[in-house]
Structure 1
Amino acid sequence: MARAETNRSGEMEVFVQVVEHGGFSAAARAGRMTPSAVSKLVARLESRLGARLVNRSTRAFQLTPEGCGFYERATRILADIADAERSAGAGEHPVGRIRLNTSASYAAHILAGILPDFLERYPQVAVDLMQTDRVVDLLSERTDVAIRAGPLKNSRLVARKLGETAMVIVGAPGYLDRFGIPATREDLDRHTRLSFGYARAIDGWPVTEAGARTVVAPVGRVQASDGEALRHLALGGNGLARLAAFTVQADIAAGRLVPVLERLNPGDREAFHAIHLGQGGPLPSRVRALLDFLAERGRVS
């Protein structure tokens, strides 16, 4: 008698349920199976792969490194299968959940204002929003799209440019009243220069004086993990900050922040990109819809 063909996608679905529900019993309840059936299916999967995916005990559930890698790939494969089926049967109407990683500044000043229109345009799409200014690994973080500022180095990533923004050094009026308005590069040495708490592509403040360009190291007693936190620190009078112009233009117009050292501003601009994994191949319709929408409505300047 011929051996029944392995249902690989079915095994993946059960394994993903086990991971996302935190155990065999919970996955069994969600999938209307018995815990023993779920356990046997995962054991059969491990046997076929020749690798242990889960460390089992009576009190703890833990993925092995091989299990983590298989879970990441399985979720992507299942999402692609579901999207392919929806595309074939529903005219490629975007459906499903998008994991979007972006900086807090972009989320607050660009995305928050346009996301309602995206969700209204695509009512069957949901968005999981993760905020960080750090560069994340899209595969390990199971991220569909990331918004990144600055130069791109990873050749595995496909990027769609969302514009460029000027950079500006700003301070709150109260802070400048106490410590003075800097007029020269040397004046910066007498000021608190708020900084990011991690390395960046240009780890400092470029200034141009007498035709010479130098980079001033930001120093101070306060660091922050994202640009929006630095903006709030500057608004609170904690020091000067060098920020993307689109994040502070409303504060400048309202007089809450004041640009300084514009005469020494080298005029450098920071590019923003929407990126995803791949080399230009077919994309799930939900991801393509978001990329097109960001190119239309999510540009910075």
Structure 2
Amino acid sequence: MSVIKTDRTAEMETFLSVACTGSLSAAARELQLTPSAVSRMMTRLEKRLGVRLIVRSTRSLRLTSEGESYALAARRILKDLDDTELTIANRGSPRGKIKVTTATAHSRLTIVPLLKEFLQRYPDITLEIDVSDQLRDVASGQVDVAIRFGQLPDSGLHARRLGDTGRVVLASPEYLAKAGKPQTPADLARHNCLDFNFRRIEPGWPFRQNGEDFMLAVKGNVIANNGETLVELAQQGIGITRVGRFHVQQALASGQLVALLEDYNPQDREAIHAVFIGGNNVPTRIRVFVDYLVEKMST
């Protein structure tokens, strides 16, 4: 009995085109196939998997939960295939695009100043920088490399440590002249505390008093999703905030901002990692970029 070999790569590409365009006919135009060919391919795929991936009506098309899972896996598989081929084809000269995501302040103060030399070393590499304090999904292929702060969750991703940073509570001299300088963590109850809006396991700011660490809930009239905003508001005299020291080294040295409650600082450190999809087939362009960050930031 003859065996019909299935081109699974073509099926994945076709399925993703259907999912992205929202119709079989649009996918057919994009792939330069007939609508009937696309329809047969989707029917064959669902039959082989034994599940419904797409629900079709006369006017719309939507993915089932199984379809969503298959789409996520297909994107990763096709990206891995592209990366593997690119790695093999360009072992001698890394080339291609690297999508990098990094926090707003860390990008401006640390990452961007390093990029000129990297691009001079590897002129055939293109960088696409996503500057945001929101987390991007490395596992799904949204980005190639993510610069992450703090403890990393368990995952199948690979990580290289780039360094670490401490945190500091601070305010402007203008604010302190108006509201007074807190002498103990408990005094923060009388102050306008500007905080991040990220969900934490333990909400609040950590302090150490009499050898004991504790979390103190704080309140204020502004929360933000990035440290740059909090530092700017603190410089304007709006309130007290707590951010990574790398944000404010120059402002502290110049006196534009004043460190507070240092005797109660728990000296907690946040590790900084480059996170990427690991394994034996890490594309050369990604490997050399991460190696470069380690070289420059770990010294």
TM-score when scaled to structure 1? 0.84
Shift of 1:71: 1.6
Identity %: 41
**Relative to 1, partners in 2 of residues 1:127 and 1:68: Cα closer, same or farther, differing over 3 Å?**
farther
Shift of 1:275: 1.9
**Relative to 1, partners in 2 of residues 1:140 and 1:4: Cα closer, same or farther, differing over 3 Å?**
same
Secondary structure at the aligned position of 1:194 is classed as strand
**Relative to 1, partners in 2 of residues 1:104 and 1:75: Cα closer, same or farther, differing over 3 Å?**
same
Which residue of structure 1 lines up, in the alignment, with residue 132 of structure 2? Answer: 131
Matched, 1:189 2:220: no
Deviations 1:169-212 (A, max 9, x none): 11123222211222223322221122222332553322334444
Residue 282 of structure 1 aligns with an amino acid whose one-letter code is N
How many pairs were matched up? 298
Contact 1:133 1:227 in 2 (8 A): no
Which residue of structure 1 lines up, in the alignment, with residue 290 of structure 2? Answer: 291
Secondary structure at the aligned position of 1:199 is classed as coil
Shift of 1:241: 0.8
Which residue of structure 1 lines up, in the alignment, with residue 14 of structure 2? Answer: 14
**Relative to 1, partners in 2 of residues 1:130 and 1:56: Cα closer, same or farther, differing over 3 Å?**
farther
- Structure 2 gaps of 5+ residues are none
Contact 1:95 1:124 in 2 (8 A): yes
Aligned-partner Cα distance in 1 for 2:205–2:69: 39
Matched, 1:248 2:244: no
Residue 124 of structure 2 aligns with an amino acid whose one-letter code is P
Shift of 1:109: 2.7
Residue 56 of structure 2 aligns with an amino acid whose one-letter code is R
Mapping for residues 87-166 of structure 1, pairs under 5 Å: 87-91=87-91, 93-119=93-119, 121-127=122-128, 129=130, 131-134=132-135, 138-140=138-140, 142-154=142-154, 156-166=156-166
Contact 2:75 2:140 in 1 (8 A): no
Shift of 1:155: 5.0
Secondary structure at the aligned position of 2:193 is classed as coil
Q: State the 4+ residue runs in structure 1 displaced beyond 6 angstroms.
A: none
Residue 131 of structure 1 aligns with an amino acid whose one-letter code is S
- Structure 1 gaps of 5+ residues are none
Aligned-partner Cα distance in 2 for 1:65–1:130: 31
Aligned-partner Cα distance in 2 for 1:68–1:98: 25
**Relative to 1, partners in 2 of residues 1:131 and 1:19: Cα closer, same or farther, differing over 3 Å?**
farther
Contact 2:167 2:245 in 1 (8 A): yes
Mapping for residues 1-301 of structure 1, pairs under 5 Å: 2-91=2-91, 93-119=93-119, 121-127=122-128, 129=130, 131-134=132-135, 138-140=138-140, 142-154=142-154, 156-201=156-201, 203-278=203-278, 280-298=279-297
Contact 1:144 1:276 in 2 (8 A): yes
Shift of 1:249: 1.6
Deviations 1:138-191 (A, max 9, x none): 435644332221123415332211101121111123222211222223322221
Aligned-partner Cα distance in 2 for 1:266–1:96: 43
Aligned-partner Cα distance in 2 for 1:165–1:138: 23
Deviations 1:6-62 (A, max 9, x none): 111122222223334444344333322233333332232222222222222343332
**Relative to 1, partners in 2 of residues 1:119 and 1:45: Cα closer, same or farther, differing over 3 Å?**
farther
Aligned-partner Cα distance in 2 for 1:133–1:282: 27
Aligned-partner Cα distance in 1 for 2:287–2:70: 25
Contact 1:92 1:285 in 2 (8 A): no
Contact 2:46 2:53 in 1 (8 A): yes
Contact 1:151 1:201 in 2 (8 A): no
**Relative to 1, partners in 2 of residues 1:253 and 1:42: Cα closer, same or farther, differing over 3 Å?**
farther
Shift of 1:124: 4.0
Contact 1:168 1:265 in 2 (8 A): yes
**Relative to 1, partners in 2 of residues 1:153 and 1:88: Cα closer, same or farther, differing over 3 Å?**
closer
Secondary structure at the aligned position of 1:188 is classed as helix
Aligned-partner Cα distance in 2 for 1:53–1:73: 13
TM-score when scaled to structure 2? 0.84
Question: CA-atom RMSD, angstroms?
Answer: 2.9
Secondary structure at the aligned position of 1:55 is classed as strand
Deviations 1:211-246 (A, max 9, x none): 444332222232222333322332332211110000
Secondary structure at the aligned position of 2:154 is classed as coil
